[in-house]
Amino acid sequence: MNERIKTLRKTLGLTLEKFGQKLGVGKTAINKLEKGENSVTEQMFKSICREFDVNEEWLRYGTGEMFRTLTRNEIITDFATDLLKDEEESFRRRLIEALASLDTDDWIVLEKIANSLQKD
């Protein structure tokens, strides 16, 4: 599992420090996990899978795909959760707030614009 954690971190393009921050631990802890000096606790295992959408079978046994295939609802839920962590005045929050205020006619116009952009 230690090699798979290292592979995951590198696939995500994260440093030891950034990977650890997402899991609430320091880079030394991640380094020791990757080297096999510390074993992966069940809590850490669950945190890695949850935080990075990792397939539990892949992380535990090396079988299947590295990442879980998310449903549309899971993608939206994950996005909304991340959005709530953004700063109040971030572009993403302002954009979603503006979209949330659209009425039905506005959505029809927006859909037409999106469809015309796809055709180009």
Distances in whole angstroms, Cα of residue 37 to Cα of each of 2, 28, 31, 40, 98: 9, 11, 9, 10, 50
- What is the predicted pLDDT for the residue at 120? 62
pTM: 0.66
Same domain flag for 54 and 30: yes
CATH number at residue 15: 1.10.260.40
- What is the predicted pLDDT for the residue at 119? 81
- Distance, in Å, from the CA atom of 95 to the CA atom of 93, rounded to the nearest integer, reads 5
Joined together, the tokens standing for residue 21 give 């921050």
Residue 39: domain span: 2-61
Q: Is residue 37 part of a domain?
A: yes
Same domain flag for 77 and 114: yes
- Distance, in Å, from the CA atom of 104 to the CA atom of 110, rounded to the nearest integer, reads 10
Domain count, the chain: 2
* Contact assessment for residue 86 and residue 93, using Cβ atoms and an 8 Å cutoff: yes
- What is the predicted pLDDT for the residue at 2? 94
- Listing DSSP states for 82-106 in one string gives HHHHS-TT-HHHHHHHHHHT--HHH
Intervals of the chain under pLDDT 70:
120
The secondary structure of residue 36, as a DSSP letter, is T
